[in-house]
Each structure stands twice: as structure tokens, then as C-alpha cells.
Amino acid sequence: MHLIHFFQMELEALRSIYEGDESFRELSPVSFQYRIGENGDPKAFLIEVSWTETYPQTPPIISMNAFFNNTISSAVKESILAKLQEAVEANLGTAMTYTLFEYAKDNKEQFMENHHPVNSATSISNILSVETPNVVPSSKKKDKKEQLTKAQKRKLADKTDHKGELPRGWNWVDVVKHLSKSGTKDDE
């Protein structure tokens, strides 16, 4: 199973699982952001997962650098990232982006128990409007599928559990370009 195919499958699984979920953003075909918590929730936070060219044999890059998180102390961010890193270790070699987002959702309260908002010059509504532009091309949207159950989503995410390697002659830039082309053709 070639790695390029692995990425393609996980990308498509993520798109179908989170279709219509406004907390999810595809920043690029190999980089994804998810808002844990409702809009306006003082304990909401954003995590970003980016695949490297050796993912999933090696960990993805997980970041909480989004402007949205600027009221969260670095100590709390570090503890969240450390917990997510443990989940990564447990899932190495498998398609884990969905697992990480779900793990963060399931443990949000525990992750944020020591959170006391840091005073920020920017009002929260500004942050939200900056962070969540609507990137989904409305014309291309299929009719909203009925919400998948958690088990169905897991099955979808599991389908992508294949190991692989880069086909000879491909490099990471090619992979990203290839995935971009095969994705939604909104504004090319």
C-alpha cells in the first residue's frame, strides 16, 4: 500500500466524517485544525495536526499555536500537548488524526481543568471571526448526509489503517500537490 494512497484515504475519511462540522478546518491536504468546545465556550481550544512525510510511522506535528488559544497559559497548553503525545505513541503506524481529535473532545474538561483565562487585549469575538472563516465552497456541498454514529465514524477512520511508503520518485512536495489536486477544486 503506497503512502500516497494512505494519505488520500485518511484525507477522504476525515472529509466525510467531519462534513458539515464547523469545528473542523482543512488547512491543507496534510494539515487539519479542530476546535474543541463550542463557539464562545471559555474552555474551548484549537488543536492543529499536520502530517509529516513519514507519518503515520512517525508522529504528526501537533500544535496549539493558533491565535484562538492566546488566552490559554503555556503551562496548560504544554500539559494538553503532552497528553495528546501519549495518544500518538499508542497509535503510531495507524491513521490517528480522527482519534486525536476525538480524544481531545472526550477529555476537554480534564485538559482544561487548570485553565484560567490570561488577559488578552483582543476580545474573544474578534478572535473567533479571525479564526473561523467559512472555507467550504457552498456550491460543491452535497446534501447533508445523516450524522454518522461514533461507531460508523470509527469504522471509517479504521479503513485507512494501512502502512505504506512513498512510491519511488515522489517527494513530499509532490504528495501534497497530488492531494491538493485530488481534493475539492474550489478556487483554482
pTM exceeds cut of 0.75: no
Beta strands per DSSP E along the chain: 24-28, 31-36, 45-50, 61-63
**64: its cell numbers:** 496549539
CA–CA distance, 62 with 57 (Å, rounded to integer): 15
pLDDT at 178: 78
24 bridge partner residues: 34
CATH 2.40.50.140 fits 1-112, yes or no: no
Per-residue pLDDT 10s for the chain (188 aa) are 567 788 999 999 999 999 999 999 999 999 999 999 988 899 999 999 999 999 999 999 999 999 999 999 999 999 999 999 999 999 999 999 999 999 999 999 999 999 887 654 444 444 454 544 455 544 444 444 556 677 766 666 655 444 445 556 667 777 778 787 765 545 44
